[in-house]
Chain A
């Protein structure tokens, strides 16, 4: 049973470019969460999505960041016009959802974004 798959593992972008990070949840999981981890800092919640719905985006910066989880295909975290401060590891996690809210989140191995 494949775990949470994230790609790419490493992404280098120049300032002003766009970054697209992809996440395929575990089989049978319908809820996806995105977290950001800055060097020497903890995991910070960004956004929580179900298929075709954003449930909680309270951790998302108001500008340049967006996320989607379409009916078909992976979840996408999109960062427009990247700046050096966006350099971080971005982790995706998934859970079954529904009545299983207290199920643990299962994490992928992250995408490490470097903005030059």
Chain B
């Protein structure tokens, strides 16, 4: 069964304090791994897609990396506006476009 596990469940950082979020996955044939950001009361907002081990993507203070078993979302010098829940999801080759999501990591960045 395809499965995604994210850790930690919650993370509190001071502004400027860099850290990483983890996403471990088990999937029968990975087509892609997706990172989303979700703000309270809103739908998930797409951040990155990673397709193969060793791939990296960057956007402002965020950098996503992928290995054969996990993905990391690195946050460099975060700001309070980076506070949100970050969701990881996988898409398998035999599942059409369906995404399987992890539980998310709730990030709080204090000034």
Contacts and interface: CB of A to CB of B under 8 A. Distances in A.
A28 interface: no
B49 interface: yes
16 contacts: A4-B43, A42-B102, A42-B104, A45-B98, A45-B100, A48-B96, A48-B97, A48-B98, A56-B96, A93-B43, A102-B32, A102-B91, A104-B49, A107-B44, A107-B45, A109-B42
B1 to A, nearest CB: 11
Given A42-B87, A56-B95, A105-B34, 7 more contacts: A31-B96, A42-B102, A43-B44, A45-B99, A107-B45, A108-B43, A110-B43
A107 B91 contact: no
Interface of A: 4, 31, 33, 35, 41-45, 48, 55-56, 91, 93, 95, 97, 101-110
Interface string B1-43: 0000000000000000000000000000001101010000111
B97 A95 contact: yes
Interface residues of B, number: 25
Contacts of A109: 41-43
B9 to A, nearest CB: 9
Contacts of B49: 102, 104
A104 B101 CA distance: 13
Contacts, number: 62
A4 B42 CA distance: 12
B50 to A, nearest CB: 11
A43 B85 CA distance: 12
B4 to A, nearest CB: 8
A3 B98 CA distance: 19
Contacts of A104: 34, 46, 49
Contacts of B103: 41-42
